[in-house]
Structure 1
Amino acid sequence: MPDDAPALDVSPRPTVDVARGVELARELYGVAGPARELGSQQDRNVLLEPPGERRVVLKVANRGWGRAALEAQNAALLHLAERAPDLIAPVPLPAGDGALLHEVVDGEDTVTVRLLTFVEGTPLTGAGYLAPAVVADLGALGARLTTALAGLDHPGLDRPIQWDQRRAADVVARLAGSVRDPHRRAVVQEAARTAAARLDPLAPALRVGPVHGDLTDDNVVGDPDEAGRVRPTGVIDFGDLALGWLAGDLAVTCTSVLRRPAHHPLDVLPAVRAYDALLPLRDEELAALWPLVVLRGAVLVAAGEHQLALDPDNPDLAEPMEGEWHVLTSALSLDPDAAEAALRAALGRPPAPAYDAARAAAAAAAPLVPGTTPVVLDLSVTSEHLHGGRFLEPGVEEELLRAAAGSGAAVTRWGEARLTRTVLDTTLAPAAVALVVDLLLPQGTPLTAPVGGSLTADEDGVRLTHASGLVLHLGGDLTGVRPGGIEAGAPLARAGAGPVRVQWCVVPGRRPPGFATGREAPAWRTLCPDPSALLGTDVVAVDDDPGELLGRRRSALAPMQESYYDEPMRIERGWRHHLVDVDGRAYVDAVNNVASIGHGHPRLADAVERQLRTLNTNSRFHYRALVELSERLAALAPDPLDQVFLVNSGSEAVDLALRMAQTVTGRPDVVAVLEAYHGWTALSDAVSTSLYDNPAALGTRPDWVHLASAPNPYRGRHRGPGAGAAYGQEVRDLVEGLVADGRPPAAFVCEPLLGNAGGVLLPDGYLAAAYDAVRAAGGLAVADEVQVGYGRTGRWWWAFERSGVVPDVITVAKPMGAGHPLGAVITTRAVAEAFGAAGSFFSSAGGSPVSCVTGLTVLDVIEDEGLQANAAAVGDHLLAGLAGLADRHRIVGAVHGAGLYLGVELVRDRVTLEPATAECAAICERLRELGVVVQPAGERANVLKLKPPMTLTRGSADVVLGALDTVLRDGW
């Protein structure tokens, strides 16, 4: 590192005010116009807006900066303008005398003034969250800037400043005394000391060149993308330009992420990947990056406190201090070895070579219990031992381990995300991935040393340290441990009555965690290697290529069969209203109305298994379940609907209902509403008009489909108290016109609550008017309850009940089978008999014994567990919470729905109702990161649809509300 001490004599900001800045701009540069001050920690910046001309900034430099440094900055900016015109940066402007710098008197001092073009754009500062794409943009921008500066040579670049990472340890040592809080001061000093110690052996290999020195969100501007996220395009404030470590400049950029409480330290990885793709990092630079991040955090705190003491009235110093402290504490929260391993894994680099000998020793180790081959216990997300919510029971791990061992030995798996470590109703990912194994042995079983070394014991357990640096950590129930030197194969301890926890670590002196989160696990697995050699059996449970299955999906499934999310998590377990991914992360499932009674319901699983073992055939045979389900459905429908047809899906149900209406009336024509979705079969698709599902829907409808306006009282043609009558009159006029043309409709089909629109409630009087109109023409009223029926709306079993009407035909499906393919059409005896006169009907699996038992069990569960009442109570709570969000966040234009079928409509303007479509998609992605599964809905894909399993609790609803509030507050 350079020996010269960094300049720390930075002074308070110059006293030049806006009025004096305007005067100087006019005198020196001939520029005049409205002016205001721009914030700065050390300089004075005056923004001028000359009429009809480009905006400029008069910069009055802190007198602590030398003239040579300012000349170097100007040279760099001119260099960039010539060599990298695609990089947006300020350009220095000459005065009337052609000079780029001028020294002027400021009271008793002399300060240096220059004029720069103003870089237009929105500052990144202030956003509480930076999306991965924005973080990647920052990294790429840094690489492009450093590459462009590489050819710059100016004597003013070689200057000792406090922001030079090469001098960071000395800066902290000299400024730490300014940190007022003793605890923080100690943290800053220790952080700098340990980070510098890691850097010292790496320093000779770190590349040095001209660097911006402060490429953070404070000095980057950009343009909003479609989702409103500011994407970096321009760089400002080259005040810290100097020679420095290239890797140090990337570390500075990483602090933009760490400053924000919304971020995990590893959220910097997109920036590192993007930087490396353009300017590949050397191995030593990769090893140095996290210590440099820590050092930068330490300098920020120490220098910030020092400058604040010099200039206590500067708000640009006082306000950021907690953010600077968060940079340091966030960097320190990640183990430095794990951080390096994570960076290496993210860039596809091999593990650090410093630990190769230890890894080799682990692979060659002798068994811990010679002659014993334990049974391997599966505690993963897919484990058959953990059905029915058993994974939530206290002590279940040891209970299952004992059951697996019997009178012998059993062991858990390494690298496995244990379902038993999953935590429900939290926005934080759990530490569920095992870096340890738990070994249960008969009490008194001797354990032998797998390698020779030094044996120590304390309250944390037993450690056996090998000469290579490899450490065996043992915890749990052990007896007979004798600390000291020990040879391989010598007695080490005896097993007690409880499990023994076993773990390798290649970092001596480090006590690694027993479990890691899914995102940290790849790093820790390189530091805590596979212990299979110790155990005499393969205990590895690691998916070597997490993206491989997704690649296979995308290869085998036709592209139109889309999946949720750009990079979907892999879900392998559901429980009630939660989904669990393969890392053990639980998500509140706020979208899965198919799973009406919740995921993994043991009562349903047992009933289906029993029936599958007994009988499964088709409905032309006679069996009890078929009769009982039909009777139950008929009893749930209002009089006179008492005839049931069982089918496989909602599409088939709507298709059958329309075919029934056309057959009974002898007419082909059907009236449907715009912006609706009813299914994928020929007839159900014909009446589906949603452009979200089919962009060509309106141009491809058959001529027998006639469309009425979507009866949306929020954004439709008619709004306000009279909307229902106005929309009803439209249907009446449409039907009367068809009758006049000799084409009276066979049916009017509509969801009694606009599910496809995100739960929009029909305006009062609409459905009654529409039903009256179609019936007056001799047609049938079809209520599509596939999404919105079956008690989901809480106060009503059928959504049409809210409108005070009775249809002629009901279609239902999704909730009937709770994920099993099952649907039904319910109608009157007169309609059924008229339809039957034209032939018979048959659906192979629609009324099979398994399907019928499924349907009966779902009805029993809804009744016995009070799920309809729960939908009402929790739905009201959720609705009230969403209304509160609408009061706080202007992007929420309206909240729709009832019970547990709700929609949050997002708009860019509450007057024009411009849909916030891109924002909605981005918000869903961000909610996923916080453990909430929500998806866009509506014709404009701007509605967050909330239609969870009916088991949703108030606690889980609060998680949804809290996460959404966080996203709307901090950004997406």
Structure 2
Amino acid sequence: MSNRVEEIIRHRDKVLGPGYQFSETLPIEFVSGHGAHLIDRDGNDYLDAFNNVQGVGHANPHVADAVYRQMSAINTDTRYPQRLLVDYAERLLATVPPVLSKVTFPCTGSEANDLATRVARFHTGGEGIIATHWAFHGRTREVASFSPMLGAGSPLGPNVRLISPPDPRLVELGSSLDAFMRDQVRKAIQDLERHGYKLAAFIADAAFTSDGIFTHPVGCLKSVGDEVHAAGGVYIADEVQSGFSQLGESMWGFSRHGVVPDIVTMGKAMGGGYPISGVLFRPEVSDEFGRRVSYFNTLGGRSVSFAAASAVLDVFEQENVRERVMANGGLVRAGLEELTHNSPYVCEVRGSGLYLGVEIVKDRATREPDPVRCEEIIGDLRANRVLISRTGPASNVLKVRPPVAFTAADAARFLETFAAVAKRHL
């Protein structure tokens, strides 16, 4: 670590409030970026296979130019008529099923999920929330109450029930994943009702990111939606991490499962790194809330936010992003499977598009998690200038989640580096 970085950290520790963490054990000061690449102060090029917030790429020139031009003109909010807002809302709604015809614009993914839950409670008259065992949906007090990934220091609400993610290995012989998920939801609803809580909503990230990344088989969430609706609840699809073609097969993760949610939340890659989030509603779920409750977000509905988000959709339309994600994600997954299929320390490679997980274990037969080896692999990759992260309840799943700007050349570099690291650790 350089003297400069050490000095930054010392001053940072003096001025920042509690809870801040670095994304790496060895902090790196980046000064520029392009595509899926980050450049440090010494000019070293790091391949970013972790940070999908930039989506269409670090310092994407089209997004940067749109933000600059709009900031140079006007940056008003939703209290004033904006053609840019209307145009963007129409373009965004055109990417989802027609029944989702209303959209509200908060600022962050946490705020989006907070509003979604608030509307769900208003609409249903219920308080009960069902999420998965290690889910993460945000950091507001409300959303943290059903984000178990935050750990024991962040208590869950008494109105929250947790179910397992759609991991096919948990299904008993002779049953199906569809039946497994339906039965879990049914039991959670019954337990909520026994304790005096009517169901308000089931919420799920379609990639089940924090649970360890579970994307296959598809279709297992449709029966969950049926069960939720039968109990009078609403289905919230959290697309904050898995949306905007990250999974490749479709623009939105819920589409892969044949589910039409009542509410969809999104953020992160939505503005190419500029803060904006969205909540899409079936009007029958949101209209009465809108008539009786005023909602306004100071920063989420700014002109510059819509300029950034519109530029992101331009890139999707001009560059065939989804096809690129499927092609390059397929290359990475196939390469990871080939490099690890004989390793006793790799239990499974899973995922879709540019959203992949490699489960690291002490023994493939017992599947006992090995978070230490997982961290060593991440550190060795970082030392070789490739950035990834980890996920799962035991922090033993390598999380490969680059921006959708990831190219075939990036995929080749990633696999070449991973192959060298795998020889030492797998």
Alignment TM-score > 0.5, same fold: yes
Deviations 1:605-650, CA, capped at 9 Å, x for gaps: 1110110010012211111111111111111111200100001011
Q: Tell me by how many angstroms 1:896 deviates.
A: 1.5
- The match for 1:712 is 167
C-alpha change, 1:929 and 1:896, in structure 2 (3 Å) is same
Residue in 1 that maps onto 2:25: 566
1:651 aligns with 2:106: no
Within a 5 Å distance, the mapping from 1:314-333 to structure 2 comes to none
Matched, 1:703 2:162: no
Name the SS of the counterpart of 1:626 in structure 2.
Answer: helix
Aligned ranges 1:158-169 → 2 under 5 Å? none
From 350, 354, 360, the equivalent of 1:900 is 354
Residues 646 and 616 of structure 1: is their aligned pair in 2 closer, same or farther, counting only changes over 3 Å? Answer: same
1:605 partnered with 2:64: yes
Matched letter for residue 237 of structure 2: A
Contact between 1:821 and 1:851, CA under 8 Å: does it hold in 2?
A: yes
CA contact (8 A) 1:878 1:961 kept: yes
Distance 2:5 2:195 in 1: 61
Displacement of 1:764 in angstroms is: 4.5
Q: What is the aligned residue count?
A: 426
Counterpart position of 1:957? 411
Residues 597/926 of structure 1: CA separation in 2 closer, same or farther (3 Å cut): same
Change (3 A) 1:594 1:721: farther
Residue 82 of structure 2 is aligned to residue 623 of structure 1: yes
1:505-520 equivalent positions in 2, closer than 5 A: none
1:923 aligns with 2:363: no
Q: How far off its partner does 1:967 sit? A: 1.2
CA drift of 1:756 comes to: 1.4
Equivalent residue number for residue 319 of structure 2: 865
Supply the distance in 2 between the matched residues of 1:594 and 1:914 (Cα, whole angstroms): 31
Name the CA distance, whole Å, in 1 between partners of 2:73 and 2:106: 21
Contact 1:653–1:812 under 8 Å retained in 2 = yes
What are the superposed Cα offsets for residues 765-788 of structure 1, whole Å, 9 maximum, x if unpaired? Answer: 431121111100111000011100
1:790-834 C-alpha deviation (Å, 9 max, x unpaired): 111111111111111111000000110111111000011111212
Asked if the contact 2:219/2:256 (under 8 Å) is kept, the reply is: no
Note if 1:661 corresponds to 2:115: no
Cα separation, 2, equivalents of 1:888 and 1:741: 49
**SS where residue 547 of structure 1 aligns?**
helix
Call closer, same or farther: CA 1:596–1:732 in 2, change over 3 Å. Answer: same
**Whole-angstrom distance in 1 between the partners of 2:121 and 2:3:** 56
SS at match of 2:243: coil
Contact preservation (8 Å) 2:355, 2:400: yes
CA pair 829-545 structure 1, distance change in 2 beyond 3 A? closer
Question: What are the within-5 Å matches in structure 2 for residues 752-763 of structure 1?
Answer: 752-761=206-215, 763=217
Contact 1:575 1:598 in 2 (8 A): yes
- Cα shift at 1:762: 5.1
Give the partner amino acid of 1:713: P
1:967 aligned partner, one-letter code: V
Cα distance per residue 1:11-33 (max 9 Å; x no partner) = xxxxxxxxxxxxxxxxxxxxxxx
1:231-380 correspondence runs (5 A): none
| Residue 310 of structure 2 is aligned to residue 853 of structure 1 | no
Distance 1:719 1:933 in 2: 39
* RMSD between aligned residues: 1.9
Partner amino acid for 1:859? Answer: L
- The 3-state SS of whatever aligns with 2:51 is coil
Task: Output the CA distance in 2 between the equivalents of 1:854 and 1:769.
Answer: 37
1:112-191 aligned within 5 A: none
What's the CA shift for 1:890? 2.3
Structure 1 residue 965: Cα displacement: 1.7
Q: Find the counterpart in structure 2 of residue 374 from structure 1.
A: none
Q: Whole-Å Cα distance in 1 between the matches of residues 30 and 192 of structure 2? A: 49
Corresponding position: 1:968 with 2:422: yes
Q: Which residue of 2 aligns with 1:550?
A: 9
Of 51, 59, 73, 1:614 maps to 73
- 1:708 and 1:591 map into 2 onto residues whose CA distance is 27
The share of aligned pairs that are identical, in percent, is 36
Where does structure 1 lack aligned partners over 5 or more consecutive residues?
1-518, 520-542
SS of alignment partner, residue 350 of structure 2: strand
Corresponding position of 1:885: 339
SS of the equivalent of 1:641 reads coil
Partners of 2:67 and 2:304 within 8 A in 1: yes
User: What is the CA-CA distance between 1:753 and the residue it aligns to?
Assistant: 1.7
Counterpart for residue 395 of structure 2: 941
Output the CA distance in 1 between the equivalents of 2:303 and 2:377.
43
Q: Greater relative contact order (Cα 8 A, min sep 6): structure 1 or 2?
A: 2
Residue of structure 2 equivalent to 1:387 = none
CA distance in 2 between partners of 1:914 and 1:558 (Å): 36
Which moved further from structure 2: 600-609 or 738-747? 738-747
Q: What is the rounded CA distance, in whole Å, between the counterparts of 1:709 and 1:971 in structure 2?
A: 30
CA shift, 1:708, in A, is 1.9
Q: Is the Cα–Cα contact under 8 Å of residues 207 and 242 in structure 2 kept in the other structure?
A: yes
Aligned partner of 1:111 in structure 2 is none
- Structure 2: gaps spanning 5 or more residues: none
* Alignment partners' CA distance in 2, 1:964 and 1:812: 31
